[in-house]
Amino acid sequence: MTLEERSNLVLTFAHVLYVNGQATDQTLDAVEWLSDTLGVRAKLMPRWGELQLQTEDREARLISLVAANPAGVDMDRVASSMQRIEDLGAGRLAPAAAIEVIAKISKTPPAPTWLFTLAAAAGAVALAVIFGVQHLTAAALIFVSAGAGAILRRSLAKYSANVFLQPFCASLLAGVIGALAVRYQLSSSLRLVAVCPCMILVPGPHVLNGALDLIAGRIHLGAARLVYSGLVIVAISTGLLLGLALLGVTFPVDPAGRAVSLWVDTIAAGVAVFAYSVFFSTPLHMLPWPVAVGMLAHALRWVALAAFGASAATGAFVACLIVGLILTPVSRRWHMPFAAIGFASVVSMIPGVFLFRMASGLVQLAQGSHTTLELISATTADGMIAVTIILAMSFGLIVPKLVIDHLSERATQARP
């Protein structure tokens, strides 16, 4: 193969990994491993919007560019790509054949629409159970709303590539259905009928990947990932509040939550993890890991909150620490994107409801007609709680990953 052909092969593999949710460090490691196999020296420079690859051998140097927005998550494509890189290194796959193989992997379809819809509906209901839904009618409305939102998202994807349109329209629909539920007295002050279909839209893997990039010193890429995540959350919040406002319904800033029993909490968390794994196109043989670990993590969180009186942030940190310790070696062994399986395992702890309450409070403050000290305090508290939980979850997942990755690299370097 010529230098250009080898460079294109490396860049194609890097592109598939990068745009489908693989962490930047793992993508860079894969590029290094693959380039060594092909007998070239390669340096990948990832940015939001593009990948730049510099390759060279004894005779020439080549710089290649490809457009790449890391806004997707597809664990099947990532796992398949990493396996093919391993096959190349072991000699089980010829470089010439790898070109056709990676082209097929890049076009692997996501979960079918019916399964995606069912997962969205079941995941939203599971989150509602965790947050204390009490009536079957409300749960049924959440199921229908989230399912309809999933169908709407898949339909919009055929006509527009705008990354904010899908979450905005799905949350707008959820807000309208939630407002109708309030009008007909089918929803409590928690507004779970409106909130839960929106919570499944929160882009958690991108938050985690952004945090990993910032810690690694890739400031521009990490900041870009976090800005993207923040804008998606803004789109979700705007759609939700607009949908409620169209029918004259408000979103309370500080309603009281409801506690549920340990077994209900744990089972519901397992359903939510399964749903998110389907969103991320997780291969069926990999599903037991995030589901089992997610249920364990949520049980630990429940014990921390109920038995020891820990705060929500502390409970989330303890749970995420366990998830990081268990899933980091699993993700390395099975070539699964850590951000995807890690987020799927702790999805029910994401403080989406606090973010939505904060957004509602900010809107009410901007209107100025109901500005009170209580409203200001509640809005500020919701924002601080959300930020604290997100930081606790990020550190809980990332710290054990960094430690284990460092120890693994040292062990690899120490081998003769």
Q: What is the pLDDT of residues 184-203, one digit of tens each?
A: 988 877 788 999 999 999 88
As a residue count, the chain comes to 416
Beta bridge partners of 169: none
The confidence score (pLDDT) of residue 254 equals: 66
**In whole angstroms, what is the distance from residue 271 CA to residue 129 CA?**
10
Highest mean pLDDT among 251-255, 277-281, 333-337, 371-375: 277-281
- Nearest one of 356, 313, 342 to 199, comparing CA atoms: 356
The confidence score (pLDDT) of residue 258 equals: 73
pLDDT at 27 over 90: yes
- Residues 209 and 71 sit within 8 Å (Cβ to Cβ): no
Comparison of pLDDT for 13 and 345, the residue scoring more: 13
- Residues 211 and 398 sit within 8 Å (Cβ to Cβ): yes
pLDDT at 28 over 90: yes
Helix intervals (H) in 20-69:
24-38
pLDDT at 315 over 60: yes
Tell me how far CA of residue 262 lies from CA of 124, 295, 396, in angstroms: 19, 10, 22
The confidence score (pLDDT) of residue 141 equals: 96
Helices 204-215 and 338-346, interaxial angle, to 10°? 130
Alpha-carbon torsion (158, 160, 162, 164), positive or negative: negative
The confidence score (pLDDT) of residue 344 equals: 83
The confidence score (pLDDT) of residue 341 equals: 83
Give the range among 54-63, 87-96, 247-256, 297-306 with minimum mean pLDDT: 247-256
pLDDT at 334 over 80: no
pLDDT at 410 over 80: no
Look at strands 49-56 and 41-47 and give their pairing. antiparallel
Tokens of 168: 């905005």
Contacts of 2 (CB under 8 A, 6+ apart): none
**In whole angstroms, what is the distance from residue 31 CA to residue 42 CA?**
7
**Count of other CB atoms within 10 angstroms of residue 155:** 12
Comparison of pLDDT for 60 and 114, the residue scoring more: 114
**Count of other CB atoms within 10 angstroms of residue 229:** 22
Span 290-298, average pLDDT = 92
Tell me how far CA of residue 416 lies from CA of 319, 404, 412, in angstroms: 37, 21, 9
- Mean per-residue pLDDT of the chain: 89
The confidence score (pLDDT) of residue 193 equals: 93
**In whole angstroms, what is the distance from residue 279 CA to residue 75 CA?**
9
CA dihedral 394→397→400→401, nearest 10 degrees, is -100
Residues of the chain with pLDDT > 90: what percent? 56
Span 214-221, average pLDDT = 92
The HSE-up count of residue 153 (CA atoms within 13 Å, CB side) is 27
Span 11-23, average pLDDT = 94
Rounded to two decimals, the pTM is 0.89
The confidence score (pLDDT) of residue 413 equals: 65
Residues of the chain with pLDDT > 70: what percent? 97
**In whole angstroms, what is the distance from residue 399 CA to residue 208 CA?**
12
The confidence score (pLDDT) of residue 114 equals: 95
